[in-house]
Structure 1
Amino acid sequence: MNAVSFGPFAFDAERFAAIAGMVVFLAAASVLAHRVDDRLGRWSSWTAVVGLAAARIGHVLQHAGSFASEPWRVLAVWQGGFSWSGGAAGVAVILVLLFLRSRKLGAWAAASVVAGVVATAATLALTYSSARLPPPTCAFRMLDGAETTVGGNGRPTVLNLWATWCPPCRRELPMMAELAARTADVDFVFANQGEQTATVADYLRSENLDLPLAVLDPQLLLSSHYSAVGLPATLFLAADGTLAGSHLGEISREVLAEKIDELKFQQGISR
């Protein structure tokens, strides 16, 4: 899957590319602040804050109806959910304001922005893979003892890799179970990683969670097959079982819905 890990830290490819671009932008602005004008240092800090805020606000506005019922989730930035276009608009406004004050400073500031954009694009190109990985060929045991395969059944599939010891997994499971119950044309598979039947069954019972298809993967075969470097990991499989997309880390309701819509669009399924 499209992810990067450094020791205990793991990042989704898009998130890692955005972080890399931000670091390069701030570093370039810092160098220019020392060599050209120290005001570029303060400007870059404000630009980073405004860009992130605008990216989040843009995402929230795109999904205003979903956030209206749970407004506190506007602050749940750890779930992801940022608009590239919103962030770009925020940075552009700050850049234009600086350019109106000083064309010279505006030109140098634009150079630091370009450096950040190039770094983002280069990092994404290096870490993102469009390879259509086929589904695993082995069968997995369900909680009732029966066996099933994952993907390749002629319907798009959302495959969630999770564990009971994983706090982000526990936070997102109820939302994912709810969305699975009302999504008729996409299958959901919840594959527990590394734990035994009793542990999984006891947890689901204690949390009153009804997962449509819970399978056991005590040997972490799915994590290995998809190169998942952390949990939770959500994989989006096309109707033929090939990997069409992925998301590493806790996923929000809005991002999950977006990914499902993209998956259905690729398969020619009407929304």
Structure 2
Amino acid sequence: MMTSTALIIAGVIIFWSLVGYLARASKQKNEVTDTIFWSIAAGLVVARLIFVIDLWEIYQKDWLSVLNIRDGGFNSYSGWFAGLTVLLVRAKKHRQLMSFYLKSGAITAAALFPLVVIQTLYNTSPSPLNINAQTSSGEYQSLELNIGKPVVINFWASWCPPCRREMPVLARAQQTQSDVKFIFINQSEAPTKAERFLMSQGVDLENTYFDFAGNISKSFGAYGLPTTLFFNAKGELVDRHMGELSEASLQHYLRPLLK
């Protein structure tokens, strides 16, 4: 299943390629590509800036973390607004440019619409009320998701660099946020290897389970690591994040669940 981020990236690539194709014989070809470049740049900068401002109490602890965009911390609405504003302002005096953008935008939307519909239907499908994970001894244990408070499930593996980097963040959150239940499900590793890794990192986790065959992650469409799922107090899957989480991006997902 394609993530929202993947859809956005695919859309930008398709749009840029179409505009370049339509403008290939135009005298304004360089103007077209420059405009798209600056629109994307403005969108990314503004999206990151608004995200940082919204979670400034966290980022001010470590200013360098502002530059760590691996956490996926972007405010998409403000980013789209800024990018489209730059695009329209630079093109408003050039009818031909506007024509290129409108045609490319329409084709891109038509191409991605079926994928968006499929993703929406997939994300709104009922979530299971419990999952069966295995303990380190291989015994199955039923984990309830409808427990009256938010649940976070993190799929991870010790060989995964982003998993290793985000683990201390998730461990601290588990220790300090008792109003959220954190569940860690290791993917396809021997328990001794996973436990040895956690000990070497000085990370103490509760609710650690194993998915030796990868069936749990597949059932949720989590095909990359790390993937983190966010469930509301009713046990409904409301959001997901594929990739590394920082303290700020984790709180970005938890805030709506705790209101």
TM-score scaled by length of structure 2: 0.85
Q: Which amino acid letter does the alignment assign opposite residue 16 of structure 1?
A: A
Q: Where do residues 152-191 of structure 1 align in structure 2 (5 Å cutoff)?
A: 152-191=146-185
1:104 aligns with 2:118: no
Change (3 A) 1:137 1:66: closer
For 2:214, the equivalent position in structure 1 comes to 220
Deviation of residue 220 (structure 1)?
2.2
Of the structure 1 ranges 35-44 and 139-148, higher mean CA displacement relative to structure 2 is found in: 139-148
For 2:7, the equivalent position in structure 1 comes to 17
Q: Any stretches of 5+ residues in structure 1 without a counterpart?
A: 5-12, 265-269
Deviation of residue 65 (structure 1)?
2.1
For 1:82, the equivalent position in structure 2 comes to 74
Does the 8 Å CA contact 1:155/1:187 hold for their aligned counterparts?
yes
For 1:72, the equivalent position in structure 2 comes to 64
Deviation of residue 232 (structure 1)?
0.8
Does the 8 Å CA contact 1:56/1:82 hold for their aligned counterparts?
yes
Deviation of residue 82 (structure 1)?
1.3
Change (3 A) 1:160 1:137: closer
Change (3 A) 1:154 1:58: closer
Change (3 A) 1:30 1:195: same
Identity of aligned residues (%): 27
CA distance in 1: counterparts of 2:42 and 2:50, whole angstroms: 12
For 1:94, the equivalent position in structure 2 comes to 86
Q: 2:118 aligns with which of 126, 139, 159?
A: 126
Q: Output one character per residue of 1:73-128: Cα deviation in whole Å (capped at 9) or x when no partner.
A: 2222222111122212322442344246x242553365267448736962433334
1:208 aligns with 2:202: yes
For 2:16, the equivalent position in structure 1 comes to 26
Does the 8 Å CA contact 2:133/2:210 hold for their aligned counterparts?
no
Of the structure 1 ranges 36-45 and 146-155, higher mean CA displacement relative to structure 2 is found in: 146-155
Q: Number of residue pairs matched?
A: 254
Deviation of residue 222 (structure 1)?
1.6
TM-score scaled by length of structure 1: 0.81
For 1:234, the equivalent position in structure 2 comes to 228
Deviation of residue 40 (structure 1)?
1.2
CA distance in 1: counterparts of 2:107 and 2:205, whole angstroms: 42
Q: Any stretches of 5+ residues in structure 2 without a counterpart?
A: none
Does the 8 Å CA contact 1:139/1:150 hold for their aligned counterparts?
no
CA distance in 1: counterparts of 2:245 and 2:199, whole angstroms: 23
Does the 8 Å CA contact 2:132/2:141 hold for their aligned counterparts?
no
Deviation of residue 173 (structure 1)?
0.6
- The secondary structure found in structure 2 opposite 1:34 is coil
For the aligned residues, what is the CA RMSD? Answer: 2.8
Q: Which amino acid letter does the alignment assign opposite residue 95 of structure 2?
A: K
For 2:143, the equivalent position in structure 1 comes to 149
Change (3 A) 1:143 1:81: farther
Does the 8 Å CA contact 2:231/2:238 hold for their aligned counterparts?
yes
Of the structure 1 ranges 147-156 and 175-184, higher mean CA displacement relative to structure 2 is found in: 147-156
Does the 8 Å CA contact 1:162/1:232 hold for their aligned counterparts?
yes
Deviation of residue 237 (structure 1)?
2.3
CA distance in 1: counterparts of 2:239 and 2:99, whole angstroms: 37
Q: Output one character per residue of 1:174-210: Cα deviation in whole Å (capped at 9) or x when no partner.
A: 0011112111211001111112221122111111101
Q: 1:257 aligns with which of 228, 242, 251?
A: 251
Q: Which amino acid letter does the alignment assign opposite residue 201 of structure 1?
A: E
For 2:53, the equivalent position in structure 1 comes to 61
For 2:38, the equivalent position in structure 1 comes to 46
CA distance in 2: counterparts of 1:125 and 1:219, whole angstroms: 30
